[in-house]
Chains A and B, each alone.
Chain A
Amino acid sequence: MIGDGIASANQRTHRFVEERTPVGFFTDPTLCIGCKACEVACKEWNGLPEDGFVFSGTSYDNTGALGASTWRHVLFLEQDQSRGPQLAGPMSGGEGEDPFRWIFLSDVCKHCEHAGCLEACPTGAIVRTEVGSVLVQDDVCNGCGYCVVSCPFGVVDRRPQPLPGAGGAFKCTFCYDRQASGLPPACAKVCPTESIQFGPLDEITARAARRVEDVRALGYADASLYDARGTSVGATRAVFLVLGSPEAYGLPADPVVPTVYLRDAWTSSLLTSLVALAGVIAAFALL
């Protein structure tokens, strides 16, 4: 199913918003060439400001992470030889250096089924759209910053001064504006290798599962699907194929939606309140 050309859901117009069809992204690093067209298209379409030209000095990746002004982020991993085929030579040409496997993966907001940011948002600025994506309504957000610490993937962030829109929380919108007009998200539209695939969620998840099997059959025994299924996050609408451990990509192995901590914390809060009030009354009554 890879390479559908103009028939691909990445290129076709659609009516997913009108029809309330849940949609998803499947991002496949085995097809990614690290061109960063998705990052650029996202910045261009969404008018995202630059967020610092920083030299990381540790890798080919100077973007570093998703953030308020980076909604697609291409990771550049150098994995060692033992992990499988597709090897690149030593970078300095030295004899003693180990060859390694290049992996590029375009990271994005996961659009969780149980989204920490959406649950935490006290203003109702963060909502679930008709297509199941998680959207920050910029005209409602007051910049409290609670979503920032509530995302288990470190996706959403508050945009600092003096950038345009500063003070508000920003993350991938799943190109809600484009989708509402029947267009595919900008990143999927430009991806030259269809490493990013967009479409109805059921099609996308089926396609992702098949691709993992195919890649395993090709000799990549460490290929797996990263979709948070079976965790407290429920499932993610952006799913990824990963080679090796998800941690190497900065993805938690078993993501936790922070609302699971509420029961213990509120129990403690209520009991503490009760004991404090009773204690103070007792102190005044007895002493």
Chain B
Amino acid sequence: MKPAGYYGLPVVKPPVWTWEIPVYFFVGGLAGMAEAIALAAFSTGAELELVRKAAWVAAAGAGVSPILLVMDLGRPARFANMLRVFKWRSAMSVGAWTLAVFGACAVPAALLLQWGEGRALHAVAALLLFGAGVLGPLLATYTGVLLAATAIPVWSAHRTLLPIHFGAAALGSAAAVLELLGSRPPALSAVGIATAIVETMIGAALEIGRASVVDRPLRTGRSGNLMRAAAVLTGPLSLALRLVGARTGGGAAFLFGALLSRFAWIDAGRCSALDPEATFASQAPP
């Protein structure tokens, strides 16, 4: 068979991003959703110990994330140019600002929750916690938008699914980390079960039916294998472990799967970009 297009050569360019980006998707998402948990626990009057722990997880993630992002830049010394302008129509610009503001709220919030004394400082802590807690879920889901709004066929094809997928993975990861750190309120268990159910459904949705040309990297090759392994870990396996009462095992499986899943999506994007048939299918008249 004659190769598609121009001697079968790729039409669009594959992502140049290296391991730092999928790890950032995992860490940043986890931090964002941990802050949402901190805010929920704080506003419903849960024990302060859990609020502090969640706020520290968020602050740590907010500290590690920019380091990962700067490491991936082609010219790391110019990292500050990320905040040179604000562009609504660039998901990366919106994301960079979201991360910056999130970090500026989450780090002092954690410090004040731990060591702040007096009513004034508590009010400031609550305010910062509110800001970071509301931005947190956006930080966890904008990464789906970041991938969706590109010329990479398999990413743009799943533009509605990706933010849900990344959001669920981030929330489940945050709950799992807090559980592994020793906080075991029933609410976290419920969050863990709910996110494992959502991930099971997403995994099934990606498996059902015949794979389109664009979806091939989700089912075949290295990216397909990674995708399936990640789907089993975050979905049915972690759900089953949680249902039999193995919260530690269920949480650990979910965390590992959520990290693997981000690598799988980047890898699938690379395969998708290299496949001219996928690009022609995604950029053709309706």
A277–B134 touching, CB < 8 Å: yes
Q: How far does the alpha carbon of A266 sit from the alpha carbon of B146 in the complex, in Å?
A: 10
Q: A14 to nearest B CB, angstroms?
A: 31
Q: B77 to nearest A CB, angstroms?
A: 8
Q: Is the CB of A148 closer than 8 A to any CB of chain B? A: yes
* Centre residue among A254, A265, A273, A279 by max chain B CB count within 10 A: A265
A123–B84 touching, CB < 8 Å: yes
Q: How far does the alpha carbon of A64 sit from the alpha carbon of B186 in the complex, in Å?
A: 58
Interface residues in A251-269 by Cβ distance below 8 A to B read 251-256, 258-259, 261-262, 264-269
Chain A residue contacts of B273, Cβ below 8 A: 149, 154
- A-side interface size class: 35 or more
B11–A153 touching, CB < 8 Å: yes
CB nearest neighbor in B for A159: B74
CB nearest neighbor in B for A166: B74
B149–A254 touching, CB < 8 Å: no
B283–A256 touching, CB < 8 Å: yes
A248–B5 touching, CB < 8 Å: yes
Q: A32 to nearest B CB, angstroms?
A: 15
Chain A residue contacts of B3, Cβ below 8 A: 58
Q: Is the CB of B200 closer than 8 A to any CB of chain A? A: no
Quick one: CB contact mask for B256-286 with A, threshold 8 Å, 1 for yes?
0000000000000100010010011011110
Q: Chain B at the A interface: mostly helix, strand, loop or mixed? A: helix
Q: Is the CB of B96 closer than 8 A to any CB of chain A? A: yes
Q: How far does the alpha carbon of A64 sit from the alpha carbon of B151 in the complex, in Å?
A: 20
Chain B residue contacts of A141, Cβ below 8 A: 74-75, 78, 81
* Centre residue among B17, B81, B164 by max chain A CB count within 10 A: B81
Quick one: CB contact mask for A46-62 with B, threshold 8 Å, 1 for yes?
00000000001011010
Q: How far does the alpha carbon of A146 sit from the alpha carbon of B17 in the complex, in Å?
A: 9
CB nearest neighbor in B for A140: B81
Q: How far does the alpha carbon of A274 sit from the alpha carbon of B96 in the complex, in Å?
A: 20
CB nearest neighbor in A for B43: A281
Q: How far does the alpha carbon of A194 sit from the alpha carbon of B140 in the complex, in Å?
A: 52
Q: Is the CB of B30 closer than 8 A to any CB of chain A? A: no
Quick one: CB contact mask for B6-41 with A, threshold 8 Å, 1 for yes?
111111111111000000000000000100110111
Chain A residue contacts of B73, Cβ below 8 A: 142-144, 167
Q: Is the CB of A199 closer than 8 A to any CB of chain B? A: no
Q: Is the CB of A158 closer than 8 A to any CB of chain B? A: yes
Chain A residue contacts of B283, Cβ below 8 A: 152, 252-256
Stretch at the interface among A87-95, A114-122, A180-188: A114-122
Q: Is the CB of B210 closer than 8 A to any CB of chain A? A: no
In the complex, the number of residue pairs spanning A and B with C-beta atoms less than 8 Å apart equals 250
Q: Is the CB of A22 closer than 8 A to any CB of chain B? A: no
Q: How far does the alpha carbon of A255 sit from the alpha carbon of B142 in the complex, in Å?
A: 24
Interface residues in A200-234 by Cβ distance below 8 A to B read none
Chain A residue contacts of B17, Cβ below 8 A: 145
Quick one: CB contact mask for B159-192 with A, threshold 8 Å, 1 for yes?
1111110011001000000000000011110110
Q: How far does the alpha carbon of A121 sit from the alpha carbon of B92 in the complex, in Å?
A: 8
Q: How far does the alpha carbon of A59 sit from the alpha carbon of B155 in the complex, in Å?
A: 31
Chain B residue contacts of A145, Cβ below 8 A: 15-17, 72, 74
* The one of B11, B81, B141 that contacts A272, using a Cβ cutoff of 8 Å: B141
Q: A258 to nearest B CB, angstroms?
A: 5
Q: Is the CB of A156 closer than 8 A to any CB of chain B? A: yes
A264–B44 touching, CB < 8 Å: no
CB nearest neighbor in A for B164: A272
A272–B137 touching, CB < 8 Å: yes
Q: How far does the alpha carbon of A272 sit from the alpha carbon of B172 in the complex, in Å?
A: 13
A154–B11 touching, CB < 8 Å: yes
A121–B90 touching, CB < 8 Å: yes
- Taking Cβ atoms with an 8 Å cutoff, the residues of B that contact A are 3-17, 33, 36-37, 39-41, 43-44, 46, 72-76, 78-79, 81-82, 84-85, 87, 89-93, 96, 133-134, 137-138, 140-142, 144-146, 148-152, 155-156, 159-164, 167-168, 171, 185-188, 190-191, 194, 269, 273, 276, 279-280, 282-285
| 25 pairs from A and B in contact (CB 8 Å cutoff) | A121-B87, A122-B93, A123-B85, A142-B82, A143-B73, A144-B82, A145-B72, A151-B151, A167-B73, A247-B5, A248-B5, A261-B148, A262-B149, A264-B159, A267-B160, A268-B141, A268-B161, A269-B141, A269-B145, A270-B138, A276-B171, A277-B39, A277-B40, A284-B43, A287-B190
Shortest Cβ-Cβ A-B pairs, 5 listed: A143-B74, A167-B74, A273-B137, A252-B283, A250-B6
Contacts beyond the supplied A120-B91, A154-B273, A268-B145: 15 A-B pairs with Cβ under 8 Å: A64-B9, A120-B92, A120-B149, A122-B92, A140-B84, A145-B15, A149-B12, A250-B5, A265-B160, A269-B144, A276-B140, A276-B167, A277-B133, A277-B137, A287-B185
